[in-house]
Amino acid sequence: MPYPVRYSTRSYSEYEKILDYVSENFGMAVAAKVDMYFEEVIDQIAINPKLFPYSDKKKNLRRCVISPQTTLYYRFTGEYVELASFRGNKMNPETLGL
């Protein structure tokens, strides 16, 4: 049985920005595919929260490379999965601020 998934305010905002960027630059069809793919990955994490390794920088966060452009950071509390941040892989890791 999958664990509930909660978006932090930050992760929800970043998720929306990614989809807005993709839809503006590549069209709604591509944005819909990206959204569907991200949701599939999140569903896999909800089923098995320990699927991805801990981040090297933040020991309490797990790191999932969703695509060559985007990494998802999340934590598992034992009761639910909290999505902490969607980050561009070309961003400075020092600005993570989690």
What letter does residue 16 receive in the DSSP assignment? H
36-62 CB burial, b ≥16 within 10 A, e <16: eebeebbeebbeebeebeebeebeebb
Strand, helix or coil at 26?
A: helix
- pTM (2 decimals)? 0.85
pLDDT digits over 25-78, tens only?
899 999 999 999 999 999 999 999 999 999 887 778 999 999 888 999 999 999
Would you say 74 and 45 are in contact if contact means Cβ atoms under 8 Å apart?
Answer: yes
Complete domains list, the chain, with CATH: 5-88 (3.30.2310.20)
